[in-house]
Amino acid sequence: MLNLSIVLDDAAREAPDREAVVFGDLRLSYDFVNTIANQVANLLRSRGVRPGDKVALACPNLPYFPMVYFGILKAGAVVVPLNVLLKRREIAYHLEDSEVKALFCFEGTPELPLGEAGWGGFEDTAGCEQFFLLPATPLATEVPYGESFWAAIGGQPGEFETVQTEATDTAVILYTSGTTGHPKGAELTHQNMLMNAMVSDSMFERSDNDVFLATLPMFHAFGQSVVLNTGFYRRATLVLVPRFEAGAALDLMLKEKVTLFAGVPTMYWGLLTHQGGQDLKQATATLRTASSGGSALPLEVLNQFADRSGVHIIEGYGLSETSPVASFNRPDRPTKPGSIGLPIWGVEMKLVEEDWKDAGDGPGEIAVRGHCVMKGYYKRPEATAGVMRDGWFKTGDIARRDEDGYYYIIDRSKDMIIRGGFNVYPREIEEVLMTHPGVSLAAVVGVPHDSHGEEIKAYVIRVHGSTITEDELIAWAKENVAGYKYPRTVEFRDELPMTATGKILKRELH
């Protein structure tokens, strides 16, 4: 029997008065966070949520996130974290696809499919903390039940006997876009998530009073596993930042004596290029560990950060489907700049051809096997079978391996765009663009960008007679997909380069 919420239960039992969460002037102990999580678990049980049911959580990096996250787990339910940048059409898809029974949403979630006529905006509840029980039928009508979070848990006991789930039971469903254009839910088990936190903890230097700066969104795999779960496992203090801003992050590093910072490359670029405020070396004086993931870290950024702060950034690699950490530049082995390191403890990696044949040292597609690999895609056996065989998971990322076993990414999965650390799959955006009445055909590609790594560009063939302009189409796309997904530039063409079979040759569009 195993439940991921043990990381909170254990910390509250062994170090109840230690600060678990800091947010502005708010400082909450592990005992307090655990008590609220117990109330959340009691609330869910009292409203008919049973072990194995899905419960959605839409929340930026606020103290509510760990309270509700672990409360859902304590009740034996499955957490479905929602990216707060998604638009209502996208959120509606996630809620329906995952078959959620209840929803917690908090300030900072801009749009949820709630309200009059089924899909009203979030305006009526903006600034509030809300709990909703969702109808069993598809979400085509107004959500019938909603109340204030604090009113909902008011009167609920502060003690709860955690449901003893199996290690192989699903703990979290993380949605990841796919080349089909439809996001798929990766089912991660209690064992997946706990082992990833424990192994991540073993790779980072410890101190008695560690302080993690939580700028990575906890609704994403990286922030959830490496920051939230690893931090609670080692009973660290998490300083929560809902939205990364370099100056504020540097101020908090100095004020809170931060010892660990995990970020995507654009965050490190932001710290390096910030003008004014704290000196980088002064702000990072207590920083012992800086880790990077999400996309390849430019060597110039790595070297400049080490020169100016004295802290060497260590790189790793993973995906939502691998909980997420699969490889890392480990502390017991030399670090190789530009490499994603070696497989973490208990995990195997190899390079394969498209037909799964061994590719030796590559180039080849990275395949991963071990405790980090997901159970599968929720309700998608065919999609699961397409990427998994004998416990191995094909990542879609092309890499090579050196003589010491270190891996180096050559290309991302097929046409995937990595914008500021966020994965954007072109086909999803293309399908949305083609729902516009003025668009006949669309091809979306990533183009180089100084700060974001890649920017999103769309090549579009108009419907005959359409007069849609670049600005109009960009504005329309902005209303229909998350802020990090919509194209920043649109180029209209009379035709697009294609193969004899009609496949668009995207390499000729860059």
Per-residue pLDDT reduced to its tens digit, 390-432: 999 999 888 899 999 999 987 666 677 889 888 787 878 887 8
Q: Are residues 76 and 100 in contact, defined by beta-carbon separation less than 8 angstroms?
A: no
Q: What phi and psi values does residue 82 have, to the nearest 5 degrees?
A: -110, 135
Give yes or no for residue 288 having a pLDDT over 90.
Answer: yes
Whether cis (ω within 30° of 0) applies to the bond prior to 363 is: yes
Distance CA 113, CA 141 (A): 10
Q: What is the mean pLDDT of residues 38-49?
A: 95
Q: What is the pLDDT of residue 486?
A: 95
Per-residue pLDDT, averaged over 371-385, amounts to 97
Asked if 273 and 301 count as a contact pair (C-beta separation under 8 A), the reply is no
We find that the CATH architecture of domain 30-165 is 3-Layer(aba) Sandwich (3.40)
Percent of the chain with pLDDT over 90: 65
pLDDT at 267 over 80: yes
How far is it, in rounded angstroms, from Cα 213 to Cα 218? 12
Q: Could you tell me the residue ranges of all domains in the chain?
A: 30-165, 190-411, 417-508
pLDDT of residue 120: 33
Q: What is the pLDDT of residues 46-91, one digit of tens each?
A: 999 999 999 999 999 999 999 999 999 999 999 999 988 888 788 8
Q: How far is CA 122 from CA 80, 240, 441, in A?
A: 19, 23, 32
Cα three-residue angle 408-412-415, rounded to 5 degrees: 160
The yes-or-no answer to whether 30-165 and 417-508 have a common fold is no
How far apart are alpha carbons 442 and 432 in whole angstroms?
9
CATH 3.40.50.12780 at 190-411, yes or no = yes
Residue 119 banded pLDDT, cuts 50, 70, 90: very low
Q: How high is the pLDDT of residue 266? A: 82
Question: Which residue, chain included where needed, has tokens 């660990």?
Answer: 260
Task: For residues 473 and 445, give the distance between their C-alpha atoms in angstroms, rounded to a whole number.
Answer: 16
Of 230, 214, 266, nearest to 60 by C-alpha is 214
pTM of the entire structure?
0.84
* Of 319, 313, 358, 353, residue with least CA distance to 337: 313
Task: In whole angstroms, give the CA distance from residue 91 to residue 378.
Answer: 16
CATH number of 417-508: 3.30.300.30
Cα gap 129→147, rounded to integer Å: 8
**Strand-pair category, 237-240 with 19-23:** parallel
Instruction: Tell me what pLDDT residue 143 has.
Output: 46
